[in-house]
Structure 1
Amino acid sequence: MTVLVRDLRPQVPADAEGFARVRRLALPYILFTPDSVRHTAAHVHPDARFRPLVAEEDGEIIGTAQVHLVHDSPEPGQGVLNIYVRPDRTGRGAGRLLARAAEEYLTDLGATRLLAWALDEPANRAFAERRGYRPGRSADFLRLDLAHGTLPPLPGTPPGIELRTAADFAADPRPLFELDAETVRDEPGDVDTEFSDYDAWVEEVWHHPLLHRELTVVACAGGRPVAFSVAYTDGGTGYSTAMTGTVRSHRGRGLAKLVKTHSLYRARAAGLAEAFTGNDTGNGPMLAINKWLGYEIRAREVRYVRELG
């Protein structure tokens, strides 16, 4: 049986469904749907030169790669390749072929530094290290049982803080863009990110098909958003926190815990059964919040980096 690598055809239903299926099987802690696959392919910023790839065996998609430049970083020349293969289809060469195609593409675009996430398992780590990548930061995937677990009591809302939802900003989401842009600059990671293109943010983030505006809780001070917990849902029973952040001027007041807890209460009331979140292992404040909420670690990923001479 021969494994072939080709470009994803996002508007072909079988391709979008196959891509989402591989991602769900390989990494069930991140929500993926055919609609989100199509949306990402259509709305990633052109400067990212986004190229999704699939590995196909006998007409079946068994591996995927998301390949792009980090266009919104102040440091140029960084490329990303995130590769996942169905757990029951490993050992067929799909990962190797996807990595080779992705590396060649990014190198041709002028990338001098490559970054890739790999599950913290011996086979995955060995695969990355054989290709010249070195381990960097790590991040945990966590799960919370909303259907059968017990959420802690809702924290009190500090004086001068009003809780709203993202739906309240439907007419003008720019204040949420400004909040997102400020908080993402302090997010722990191997890559510094800066949001500056509001129109691109609207298309890619605000109109993302997984974004649930009514479950996204925003803390406001004087009418200005100062903290938020962004909720994604998959149309079934899954809920995921896409981002939780607070502006620097309002940190240390418990606002991240406040908005995330309220979002989880709303999710449970809406009938969602399980909640997922991701946590950089060096982010102590969010580690503490997630532990207090009852999240349990299910897996870990390691960011691998390869410098190109």
Structure 2
Amino acid sequence: MTLRVRDLDPENPADLDGITAVLRAAVPPMLVTPELLWWQSARAPAAQCHRLLLAEDEEGRVIGRGSTGLAHESPEPGLAFCNVYVHPEHEGRGAGTALVSAAEEYLASIGARTAFSWVLDGERNLGFARRSGWSPSRSARFQRLDLTAPLRPLAPPPPGVELRPATAFADDPRPLFLLDAEATADEPSDVGTELDDYEEWLATSWGHPLLDRDLTTVALVDGVPAAFSIAHTDGADRYSSGMTGTARAHRGRGLAKLAKHDSLSRARAAGLTEAYTSNDTENAPMLAINEWFGYVPAVTEVRHAKPLG
């Protein structure tokens, strides 16, 4: 079979629809739309050097996708990402190998020293990564919640705590940026993240095409944002937690659970039927919160790393 690997053309609807179909089949819990892919390709920060690659077969069908670039928000230079997925109906035909090879060559050419990749659990995928020189490290778990079922009740916010949607910060979202930066810095990961560019955060987080500001909830303590639960939606019936976190000074008070409960409750009232989230398997606090809500495991991925020449 003749395979071709090339860059996605963000102005070609067939490319966008093809990659969307690949990702939805390979990782059903992942929220993806053609609009998101266009945005990722056209609006990625310059420092990320991002490339969206696709593999197509001899009939021009898109059967695989690779996303690669620099981890530009990491305080450690030279780190990169390389995430490849192949449509399950087209595995074993060389698309994964071709995409990974193209990504590794590109990353080496722009000075990356170490690449990290999420690999779907299962011997087929893990064996491929092992044979390709990638070493496993931590894992993460997608989880699913049935939003057609009632949520467990939760006590109302205590005195001094107020729950508000992100739309309340439309005129000045900087307080949410500061909260996001603090919470993100403490997330368990192989690659640390420092959010220190407000304008970039406005473009990539506040301006994310799947962000639902109406369903995103912020918990304020004495009027100051202390915890939040970011909601991403696909414009249909699916919801995904973009990030849930609490400022260090307010952890252990249940504020993240309050914010997420409010967000999920309003998502359910709006008619959404499925909610997804993804957590590092070492993130015990969030795993406990999501277990309390009734999330069940859906898909597991294993983080891998590879040094580049």
**In structure 2, what is the equivalent of residue 67 of structure 1?**
68
Contact 2:215–2:266 (CA<8 Å) still a contact in 1?
yes
Shift of residue 264, structure 1, vs aligned partner:
0.6
Shift of residue 14, structure 1, vs aligned partner:
1.1
- Once the two structures are superposed, the pairs formed by residues 217-228 of structure 1 within 5 Å of their partners are 217-228=217-228
Contact 1:154–1:262 (CA<8 Å) still a contact in 2?
no
TM-score by length of 1: 0.98
Indicate the SS of the match to 1:53. strand
**Equivalent-residue separation in structure 2 for 1:225 and 1:17 (angstroms):** 38
**In structure 2, what is the equivalent of residue 167 of structure 1?**
167
- Is 1:137 aligned with 2:138? yes
Indicate the SS of the match to 1:180. helix
Report how many residues are paired.
308
Shift of residue 19, structure 1, vs aligned partner:
1.3
Shift of residue 168, structure 1, vs aligned partner:
0.7
**In structure 2, what is the equivalent of residue 229 of structure 1?**
229
Shift of residue 2, structure 1, vs aligned partner:
1.1
Q: What amino acid maps onto 1:76 in structure 2?
A: P
Q: Render the CA deviation track for 1:36-70: whole Å, top value 9, x for unaligned.
A: 11111122210010011000111111100010100
**Equivalent-residue separation in structure 1 for 2:266 and 2:247 (angstroms):** 23
Q: Render the CA deviation track for 1:109-141: whole Å, top value 9, x for unaligned.
A: 111111000011101001111111111110011
Shift of residue 268, structure 1, vs aligned partner:
0.4
Gaps of 5+ in 2: none
Indicate the SS of the match to 2:112. coil
Indicate the SS of the match to 1:153. coil
Contact 1:238–1:275 (CA<8 Å) still a contact in 2?
yes
Shift of residue 222, structure 1, vs aligned partner:
2.6
- Is 1:238 aligned with 2:247? no
Structure 1 stretches (4+) deviating beyond 2 angstroms?
A: none
Contact 1:40–1:204 (CA<8 Å) still a contact in 2?
no
**In structure 2, what is the equivalent of residue 195 of structure 1?**
195
Q: What amino acid maps onto 1:210 in structure 2?
A: L
Q: What amino acid maps onto 1:163 in structure 2?
A: L
Q: Render the CA deviation track for 1:209-259: whole Å, top value 9, x for unaligned.
A: 110001000001232211000000001110000100001000000011111
TM-score by length of 2: 0.98
Shift of residue 155, structure 1, vs aligned partner:
3.0
**Equivalent-residue separation in structure 1 for 2:41 and 2:88 (angstroms):** 24
**In structure 1, what is the equivalent of residue 276 of structure 2?**
276
**Equivalent-residue separation in structure 1 for 2:213 and 2:146 (angstroms):** 22
Shift of residue 145, structure 1, vs aligned partner:
0.6
Give percent identity, aligned residues only.
54
Indicate the SS of the match to 2:117. strand
Contact 1:64–1:83 (CA<8 Å) still a contact in 2?
yes
**In structure 1, what is the equivalent of residue 113 of structure 2?**
112
**Equivalent-residue separation in structure 1 for 2:218 and 2:224 (angstroms):** 10
**In structure 2, what is the equivalent of residue 43 of structure 1?**
43
Gaps of 5+ in 1: none
Q: Render the CA deviation track for 1:88-116: whole Å, top value 9, x for unaligned.
A: 01111000000000000001111111100
Indicate the SS of the match to 1:35. helix
Q: What amino acid maps onto 2:197 in structure 1?
A: D
**In structure 2, what is the equivalent of residue 33 of structure 1?**
33
Q: What amino acid maps onto 1:115 in structure 2?
A: F
**In structure 2, what is the equivalent of residue 85 of structure 1?**
86
Indicate the SS of the match to 2:164. strand
- Is 1:214 aligned with 2:214? yes
Shift of residue 175, structure 1, vs aligned partner:
1.0
Root-mean-square deviation (CA, aligned residues, Å) is 0.9
Q: Render the CA deviation track for 1:253-308: whole Å, top value 9, x for unaligned.
A: 00111111111100100000010000111111111111110000011100001123
- Once the two structures are superposed, the pairs formed by residues 88-103 of structure 1 within 5 Å of their partners are 88-103=89-104
**In structure 2, what is the equivalent of residue 307 of structure 1?**
307
Indicate the SS of the match to 2:103. helix
- Once the two structures are superposed, the pairs formed by residues 169-188 of structure 1 within 5 Å of their partners are 169-188=169-188
**Equivalent-residue separation in structure 1 for 2:171 and 2:150 (angstroms):** 35
